[in-house]
Structure 1
Amino acid sequence: MRMADEEQLSGWIDAKAAAERLGVKPATLYAYVSRGVLRRRQAPDGRRSLFEAAQVEELARRGRPRRPPGPGELAIESAITALGADRHYYRGRDALEMAGSRTFEEVAAWLWQGRDEPREPEEGAEPWRARAEGVAAAVAAQSGLPPGLLPLDRLHLIAAALAATDPLRHHLDPEGVVATGRALIAGLVEALPAANRAPGGGRGGEGSGGRIAERLWNRLCPHPPGDAGLLRAFEAAMILLADHELAASTVAARVAASVRADPYAVVASGLGVLSGPLHGGASYGAERLIAEVADPEAASRVVGERLRGGEPVPGFGHAVYKSGDGRAALLMDLVRAAAPGHDRLAAAEAVLAEAARRRLPEPNVDFSLAALGAVAGLVPGAGEAVFAVARTAGWLAHALEEYGRRGPLRPRAVYVGPEPS
């Protein structure tokens, strides 16, 4: 090669080196070129593509570019959760791995502050304990509610009662929001009616010790967690659901926080959107689906009737994870390990087999959450409550980001109405 050619190639690397540095397939490099993310040139021999080394290095440090927002999507910069091909990452950590080794409290602290919380609270640290006045007010507020109300419907009222009795709710500094978050989540749990009277299953602040997952179990399950494996699966579900980037309820929560609404109002905004059947309410549909399968032989009829009626089969398909939801797979594996041979697990497995036979989309986390509820014997609508309490951690993490910014979020409409006159 001539000296001029060597000088001309200085600062450029071939496709193999660029792909290895970025951790992508060579085909992805050319997708980046077509989107204007990377520059490419031909080598003097005409047989190789070259990429600017400095640009590749900058991209490697910054992270892979996400695709441009699609129709109906709003792009907001956030350092909390990244979505991968089949799983999500909390501040760079694999959420599936965290679900297998961390407590819900540890994951919430990581989402809020980006640092590990010690297993034993430090001296002077705020505990995960509800304010007694708030719980008492929330319990009293529920006295006139009709029996059989689903837990998620109660959580709306509980959040409002907790807010009304907290004189510090307008403290929006990071330490204040974290302290409020701990008390708020504990209050949401402790003000729910107790499904059993195991330790930690009391009401109105009674028996409020133990981890949040165990406290919530005692509100949603008529019997104590006799099997440690099922309780572990329950807490793993909370960790997996703690955040999922800019889901609809999180956008609502961020908009509220951007105008400096207090943390309780942020959570109330998220709860309002979460209840929709295309979001957190989807687990209730999957729960009822499994409940209809009295025995495995009924799965074909139950799934077939929904398809015949033009209804979607709840618990299958995901807008992000087209090839499979890793959260669903992990949670189902935990349920299988905890309760092999359980008749409700057999019903869920039969639905999965029937969905695969009919080539439906892959199951999502809503289905696995419903399967956990069926096997554990949780009260109707428990999946929605698990989702709501867990996602409160994520909503407050996003609120903390918004509180640190200056202006409100203000999406703009693309006007398509009549010409203004």
Structure 2
Amino acid sequence: MEWIDAATAAERLGVKPATLYAYVSRGVLRRRHAEDGRRSLFSAEEVERLARRGRPRGQPPELVIESAVTALGADRHYYRGADALELAGTCAFEAVATWLWTGDPAALREREDGHGSRGGHGIGQGGGIGQGGGIGQGSGHGGGGAPWRCDGEGLRAAEAAQRGLPADLLPLDRLQVITTVLGASDSLRFQLDPASVAATGRRLIAGLVDALPELSEPAGDSIAERLWSRLCPHPATPALLDALRAALVLLADHELAASTLAARVAASARADPYAVVLTGLGVLGGPLHGGASYAAERLLAEIAEPGQAARAVAERIRRGERVPGFGHSIYKNGDARGAFLLDLVERAAPGHDLIAASAALVAEMRRRRLPEHNIDLALAVLAAVARMIPGAGEAIFAVARVAGWLAHATEEYERGTLLRLRASYTGPPIR
């Protein structure tokens, strides 16, 4: 079979390269990676067949936005050309967020030297994978980067705003309140140049974490260590803390997910970064998006021992409900992010009852030939094994995704054009 590069395929079809990847996500075209691991190749036969047939029909139209932030592969995603799973195995969340915001190879050139170090790779010049030492500047963890902090005045205001809230309020609801207050207290929020947006991102992520009620003593200054202390009343084990760090990296962005599209629309209207993040948070909590991890948490809570997994799945199917933590609109043959994170949790707590319960769920879904598990299940297993508070998975998802939302917002600020979708009118005849 002959394989051609993206530029050749796009020219033959008369479309932009971004449209090619939309065709891949819809199953219209197949794609594989070249031996160098950086180029996408397409089947010349499929491209020719599609060119003769014309634009695919019978499927809803897609909005295609050109972006250099994240690309989706067959089972995983890539941050500015770097495999997100490799980054999750080696890098601090702060370093990955900086890479997403700036594209500066220095952000990832060296591996993590502190808590959670998992290997000897990093991003070298030009975005390639190369050998490394310790995390570079701006990591906030290891390698000499200063920890990310929010100013005291903003942090105190965000903490005060939560005093009247119910004690059992889910963390995601608190994050929306915190974002609003931090935005109101930031006189620099309307500066939309890339450096200012990155500075806002550091302040906002630090504030989101540190303004949550503290449940245990932080083990260190990294975002992962401080977030653990806000979601779990028990001290972190190094292995489970490493899984949390990896989860933050894996969830930092995922191309044009629903919340990211909403965030980009807000940014295209020149909304400030706090408003962009509030828009993303509003969409993230939906049960078909970030809220799926909370549903998976509740599913796991129903299974006291592995033998109950079959009944839990059967009851949801009988009620016509989705089984949370399974299936993905892009990764039809399995979500490598979920497999990666679940493996970390299994190695951190071998033989744990909840890991056995999740394995029974996966086995039951496979027995029924239903979709494979995704990262929502892995996130729920991490939260349950670590004995985090309810809704912890949503909070991890939200804090991580702030990095991606602001990376996409930066592109929209630089583009300077309002995103305007059009509707296909299906109402009564126009008089």
Scaled by the length of structure 2, the TM-score of the pair is: 0.81
Tell me how far apart the structure 2 counterparts of residues 271 and 80 of structure 1 sit (CA, whole Å): 19
The partner residue of 2:91 within 102, 118, 126 is 102
The residue aligned with 1:172 is 192
The answer to whether the 8 A contact 2:3-2:43 is kept is: no
Matched, 1:186 2:196: no
The residue aligned with 2:264 is 254
1:199 is displaced (CA, Å) by 3.4
The answer to whether the 8 A contact 2:218-2:228 is kept is: no
The residue aligned with 1:214 is 225
| Secondary structure of the structure 2 residue equivalent to 1:348 | helix
Equivalences for residues 271-350 of structure 1 within 5 A: 271-350=281-360
Tell me how far apart the structure 2 counterparts of residues 304 and 182 of structure 1 sit (CA, whole Å): 44
Residue deviations 1:280-318, cap 9 Å, x none?
000000000001101112112222211122211111100
The residue aligned with 1:411 is 421
Residue deviations 1:236-257, cap 9 Å, x none?
1111110000000001100111
| Secondary structure of the structure 2 residue equivalent to 1:147 | coil
**Alignment CA distance shift 1:216-1:35 (3 Å):** same
Q: Which moved more, 1:122-131 or 1:290-299?
A: 122-131
**Alignment CA distance shift 1:353-1:16 (3 Å):** closer
The amino acid that maps onto 1:84 is G
Moved over 6 A (4+): 24-27, 66-69, 122-126
**Alignment CA distance shift 1:188-1:323 (3 Å):** same
Which structure 1 segments of 5+ residues have no match?
Answer: 1-14, 38-65, 201-208
The partner residue of 2:170 within 134, 143, 150 is 150
Tell me how far apart the structure 2 counterparts of residues 69 and 189 of structure 1 sit (CA, whole Å): 45
Cα RMSD between the aligned structures? 2.7
1:406 is displaced (CA, Å) by 2.1
Bigger radius of gyration: 1
Tell me how far apart the structure 2 counterparts of residues 27 and 121 of structure 1 sit (CA, whole Å): 38
The residue aligned with 1:41 is none
Identical columns (%): 61
Q: Which moved more, 1:27-36 or 1:102-111?
A: 27-36
The amino acid that maps onto 2:414 is G
Tell me how far apart the structure 2 counterparts of residues 134 and 352 of structure 1 sit (CA, whole Å): 44
The answer to whether the 8 A contact 1:16-1:26 is kept is: no
The residue aligned with 1:83 is 72
1:70 is displaced (CA, Å) by 5.0
Equivalences for residues 383-394 of structure 1 within 5 A: 383-394=393-404
The answer to whether the 8 A contact 2:263-2:279 is kept is: yes
| Secondary structure of the structure 1 residue equivalent to 2:71 | strand
**Alignment CA distance shift 1:69-1:370 (3 Å):** farther
Which structure 2 segments of 5+ residues have no match?
Answer: 9-31, 35-39, 109-134
The answer to whether the 8 A contact 1:328-1:363 is kept is: yes
Matched, 1:130 2:145: no
Tell me how far apart the structure 2 counterparts of residues 397 and 370 of structure 1 sit (CA, whole Å): 26
Residue deviations 1:328-360, cap 9 Å, x none?
110111111111011221221121122222222
The amino acid that maps onto 1:345 is I
Matched residue pairs, number?
370
The answer to whether the 8 A contact 1:81-1:92 is kept is: yes
Scaled by the length of structure 1, the TM-score of the pair is: 0.83
Residue deviations 1:351-384, cap 9 Å, x none?
1122222222100110111011111111100000
The amino acid that maps onto 1:292 is E
The partner residue of 1:223 within 234, 243, 260 is 234
The residue aligned with 1:73 is 62
The amino acid that maps onto 2:223 is I
